[in-house]
């Protein structure tokens, strides 16, 4: 079975600093990988997805993620954090007809 592990349930960065949210996946076949964001009291919204094209995937709001097969990783980054980035972030992997979500990382932005 596929799975994803997100390192750190809470991450705090200063406004303007680099954002790095870590995700490692477990998959026996080339995976489809996703990052979703959930703002308070809202549903999930897709930030970006990897579907075996380019290994560096650019998403919305300045986020990007790099697929590294050798490290089984799909970390999410943003060069400069903004206060509006404060949210819950979920890494996910596609398994057949369903998507398996990680446990989420809460991103806090410090002024």
Partner 1 sequence: DTAVSQTPKYLVTQMGNDKSIKCEQNLGHDTMYWYKQDSKKFLKIMFSYNNKELIINETVPNRFSPKSPDKAHLNLHINSLELGDSAVYFCASSHLAGGNEQFFGPGTRLTVL
Contact with partner 1 (CB under 8 A): which of 80, 103, 108, 110?
103
Total chain residues near partner 1 (CB under 8 A): 23
Q: Which stretch binds partner 1 (CB under 8 A): 16-24, 28-36, 59-67, 72-80?
A: 28-36
Structure tokens at 53: 């094209």
Neighbours of 50 (CB within 10 A): 22
Q: Which residues of 9-46 are buried (b: 16+ CB within 10 A; e: fewer)?
A: eebebeeeeebebbbbbebeeebbbbbbbeeeeeebee
Question: Taking CB under 8 A as the rule, does residue 106 contact partner 1?
Answer: yes
Contact with partner 1 (CB under 8 A): which of 11, 32, 59, 66?
32
Residues 52-91 that bind partner 1 (CB under 8 A): 88, 90
Question: Taking CB under 8 A as the rule, does residue 10 contact partner 1?
Answer: no
DSSP 69-99: GGGTEEEEEESS--GGG-EEEEEEEEETTEE
Q: Give the footprint of partner 1 on this chain (CB under 8 A).
A: 32, 34, 36, 38, 41-46, 49, 51, 88, 90, 94, 96-99, 101, 103-104, 106
């Amino acid at each position: 079975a596929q799975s994803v592990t997100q390192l750190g349930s809470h991450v705090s960065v200063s406004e303007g600093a680099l954002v790095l949210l870590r995700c490692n996946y477990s998959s026996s076949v080339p995976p489809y990988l996703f990052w979703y964001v959930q703002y308070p009291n809202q549903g999930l919204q897709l930030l970006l997805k990897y579907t075996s094209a380019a290994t560096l995937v650019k998403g919305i709001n300045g986020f990007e993620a790099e697929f590294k097969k050798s490290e089984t990783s799909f970390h999410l980054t943003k060069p400069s954090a903004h206060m509006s980035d404060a949210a819950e972030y979920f890494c996910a992997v596609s398994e057949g007809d369903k998507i398996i979500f990680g446990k989420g990382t809460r991103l806090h932005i410090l002024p």
